[in-house]
Structure 1
């Protein structure tokens, strides 16, 4: 409860939560909020300006930009959430196995992680999508393959840190099983760190999904997706620059909200890392200068 009270005092965190909640609700109720079917085309109304019929205008095929933007929330954010859930599940299970059992299990998993982490994530994602072909499912698999090793190593380091604490060592000496230590001591402690990792990395996943769709390696038409909308708008960037504004700003605000929320969660877990001022503002202190005493 103390952590939640501290989080509520952070105005940037509250604003980020509201932005993400509103975006999620807009995507959930997109069929009721969208004025038109996102796939309906009307060439006679292409590049129509903003009006009551088309609040954000229409694209090169006469499709409602607002409708495609709302339905694009489902594609982009749902894919990001699904990707993070799979990645965190694999990373948590393997990280717990490596940290608890040590020995050969730890050695094999860490060497495998070293192999995966030796490749830049973006290069691996492009290689996997290039081999498997474009598509939303392939994008999700590529992101999972590129990131699970990083999460495995991070969870393993947290498990090693907590298993060396006196309370956990006492339970182990008293005859507590590995499952009991995992359920009562390790999972409650690393759950907060998992939430921080997932929140901070969700914005990275959204950028990857949108970037691949922008390059033509992601979601295929006519499925509405923010990166695909940017890809279609780049062809008329000079004559109709406003068409890139809606999906671009949507990606910007969602990624910023996720990053600020992740930073606030990390701040709540480790207050000494980024102290909060008395007024509830953020100081972004990356280090604290030590006072020297003159004699």
Structure 2
């Protein structure tokens, strides 16, 4: 079975991909799906309950919660995916260079990674945002700086394993240039690991963006964002606790979907782990077991 066939055979992977795709489509078509302007205030309708006009009610300023939730996908999920894409792009490039060339190049890149990894990522993100100031762009920059070193080291380890393969050695002996080997052989070889990292890290970045917005360091009002919605809802947590349900459940669902998808992709990359997960070994043992003759 190929990687994709093993992945599709996993029901949890299919469910997770369906949820992620549904959120992405909802965010892309938010202007069409949203029943109201997410920034439009109507104080007379503040804290309105669920109705046909306001399917998820309104917040403390009379804004439609569903509309803000849909537009918040663009801020929370889309920027998290952009952050992950840039981070892994940098890490993959440096990891392949370090793992392929070895020597002084590898030593130089790894020592920079060691310096970066000596700082706790959460503390570094808070420090960078504190220096640059609040804002979504600064949160993205902080997450990229805090995470690229860890992924560079992981991808470099995978590249070192692939450089010992016979087809890589044959490519070197046959006179293929370095760019061709890295693009056509090493990059496809580590693409599975990169895909797993991307799904797992996207969920983490979503939590990071939401947490910083909740603390007032990320997205600023009145931009619709799930962490900001939780920040505004905490002020009325005692009197109107339901205000925290919509953004909180949305974060829970999408982060869980990315994490479950990452676990499923990791299993699909390893056939032995996939068989163990699906119980194939036990089924084969039962079919092949012969009755003992008296």
Give the TM-score of the pair, scaled to structure 1.
0.92
Aligned residue in 1 for 2:278? 277
Q: Which runs of 5+ in 1 are unaligned?
A: 280-295
Superposition map of 1:98-109 within 5 A: 98-109=98-109
Aligned residue in 1 for 2:235? 235
Superposition map of 1:77-226 within 5 A: 77-226=77-226
CA distance in structure 2 between the aligned counterparts of 1:169 and 1:31, rounded to whole angstroms:
53
| Runs of 4+ off more than 4 Å | none
Aligned residue in 1 for 2:44? 44
Aligned residue in 2 for 1:27? 27
Aligned residue in 1 for 2:60? 60
Aligned length: 279
Q: CA deviation at 1:141?
A: 0.1
- Deviation string for 1:208-264 (max 9, x for gaps)? 000000000000011000000000001111111111000000000000000010111
- Deviation string for 1:42-77 (max 9, x for gaps)? 111111111111111111111000000000001001
Aligned residue in 2 for 1:251? 251
Aligned residue in 1 for 2:283? none
Paired residues of 1:38 and 1:64 also in contact (CA < 8 A): yes
Q: Secondary structure at 1:276's aligned position in 2? A: helix
Are residues 1:69 and 2:69 paired?
Answer: yes
Q: CA deviation at 1:7?
A: 1.2
Aligned residue in 1 for 2:292? none
Higher helix fraction: Structure 1 or Structure 2?
Answer: 2
Q: CA deviation at 1:184?
A: 2.4
Q: CA deviation at 1:273?
A: 3.2
Q: Greater CA deviation, 179-188 or 253-262? A: 179-188
Paired residues of 1:100 and 1:178 also in contact (CA < 8 A): no
Aligned residue in 1 for 2:11? 11
CA distance in structure 1 between the aligned counterparts of 2:10 and 2:101, rounded to whole angstroms:
39
Give the TM-score of the pair, scaled to structure 2.
0.92
CA RMSD of aligned residues (A): 1.2
- Deviation string for 1:14-33 (max 9, x for gaps)? 00011011111111111111
Are residues 1:261 and 2:261 paired?
Answer: yes
CA distance in structure 1 between the aligned counterparts of 2:17 and 2:61, rounded to whole angstroms:
35
